[in-house]
Chain A
Amino acid sequence: MFKYLKEYRFYIVLFFFIIIPIVAIDTATHTPRPYRFYDRVAVGITAPVQRLIAWSLDLVVSAFNNYVYLWQTRQTNLRLLEENRKLLNLIVNLREAQDENVRLRKLLDFKEEFNLQTIAARVIAKDVSTEFRAIRINRGEEDGIRKDMAVINNEGIVGRILRTAKKTSDVVTILDLLSAVDAIDKRSRVRGIVEGMTDQLCQLKFALRTDDILANDLLISSGLGGVFPKGIPVGVVSKVKKEAYGITQTVEVRPSVDFSRLEEVLVVADSQAVPFHLTAPQEVVSRIGEAASATAAATNLGTPASGSNPQKEL
């Protein structure tokens, strides 16, 4: 018995080396495998290194900005003063818009409030392969992050939590092949599924050929599936192509989030909130939409926005 095992050792091992990958490949769900014990150990080793490198790069970049660009300070200062003046004007306008928003809320007697519970996180690494577009954030199970939580930033939807470790989590971005977000066209209310395509583009699938979709239409999350809150921007339609035949049309979508410069994200701890402007009648949607985007701009300025409530600081 042992003699044969020894004699055919090469073929036995070769058989296992071929059969293991075939057995391991997941043809049913096409999803990555969940963390096992040894994966957690490996991630436990890599995460501090990744965090250290991200921190060091931040230091280098900030040193570069603070010292090397010092000679430009005066011009920058003048530019910032001008920008500050414009922004102060903008804030006044935003407050106006906010007041109008409150009045319309009362008028329509909406009871629900759009109050997202979020956890702020920093991107510390990206996918090991250029073929996939997952990112790793510095918040994990210890911070209350759970699988399938939505991840957004002030520009729109980033993705959803794929896996969690103690101190880190993997986020599958909407650019990833495995990502699918149920979205609606804000203008025409046409529905479809936004799937990842390339490093910069997504694709709106299952949109019928007769559906009214135009370039520059804003796509927002529909809230179906329970992962993403309703009404968060997903992207803007960049190209619509209708073939002479077929029942669907090809719609390319440019994500509202700039993934090449993504540094901070918010993980939505409660995705059940529904923004009221999506349930309002069509004629008030446009006005309130403007107010909402103005509020989002206020978030960028550092003004506390009514829609977000970061529980943790970076």
Chain B
Amino acid sequence: MSRLLLRFLNPPALVLAVIFGIALQTSLFSYYPFLYLQPDIVLLLVVWCALRRNFIEGGILTIIMVSLAEAHSSAPQGLFLSSYMAIYLTLRALARYLMLDRLSTLVIVTLFVSIAWKLLNLLILYLLGLSENQWRHTISLMAPGAIVEGICAIWVYRWLERFDWFTAKDPRARQELSEDLQLEEEM
């Protein structure tokens, strides 16, 4: 029963974790020279949701997390929603054809996603007519941003794996839970 409750509390706890993550990200990395090395917690969580959550739950969590990110940025309305959702849907589609289960694979995916997300932002800004001065900045920070993202991903994904295991959201934990429930029913 307690594991069922924990499983139910997993998404709100994840949203709360994102809020604290954004607070840490925006304040810890607000000083020179760290401001150029700011990781994107929301992007890491979107990758996680795309690969470790079901389609509807992951999509809704993505929308919520992106709304939180938009509240902490001067980005034009809907920009983050479009780019993060595109990343989410692309990863979902890729996951149908590729095995993206191991932690090392997830980190490599994150590296590429970080670059793709920046390029996607640039494209949307271009379509909005705002990218005139942005491309130089984006391209110069693309590689360092992806490296920082990849390094952070190792810890964040490990923590998320443990968090999912603890809240019975992990596939193996889910399997154990359903077996237990079946046993209880039989008894």
Contacts and interface: CB of A to CB of B under 8 A. Distances in A.
A222 B28 CA distance: 36
Interface stretch (A23-31, A108-116, A228-236): A23-31
A203 B133 contact: yes
Contacts of A313: none
Contact of B134 (A31, A50, A177): A177
B95 interface: no
Given A17-B85, A45-B19, A203-B133, A172 B27 contact: no
A199 B74 CA distance: 14
Given A25-B82, A33-B70, A261-B32, A129 B75 contact: yes
B67 interface: yes
Contacts of B22: 46, 128
Contacts of A282: none
Contacts of B31: 57
Given A21-B85, A30-B128, A131 B23 contact: no
B85 A20 contact: yes
B133 A17 contact: no
Interface stretch (A34-42, A92-100, A142-150, A303-311): A34-42
A33 B26 CA distance: 19
B71 A130 contact: no
A201 B68 CA distance: 29
Interface stretch (B5-13, B36-44, B150-158, B161-169): B36-44
Contact of A260 (B23, B28, B35, B134): B35
Contacts of B71: 35, 39, 42-43
A196 B133 contact: yes
A14 B86 CA distance: 11
A138 to B, nearest CB: 11
A178 B128 CA distance: 12
Contact of B25 (A33, A128, A176): A128
Contacts of A27: 128
A203 to B, nearest CB: 6
A43 B70 CA distance: 11
Contacts of A57: 27-28, 31
B81 A123 contact: no
Interface stretch (B104-112, B137-145, B170-178): B137-145
Contact of A32 (B27, B33, B76): B76
A128 B42 contact: yes
Interface of B: 16, 19-20, 22-33, 35-36, 38, 40, 42, 55-56, 59, 63, 67-82, 85-86, 88-89, 118, 121, 124-125, 128-130, 133-134, 136-138, 141, 145
Q: Which 6 A/B pairs are nearest by Cβ-Cβ distance?
A: A25-B78, A134-B74, A24-B78, A49-B23, A46-B23, A26-B77
Given A25-B128, A129-B69, A198-B133, 12 more contacts: A10-B55, A13-B59, A21-B85, A39-B68, A42-B71, A45-B20, A53-B24, A54-B27, A126-B29, A129-B80, A131-B137, A261-B32
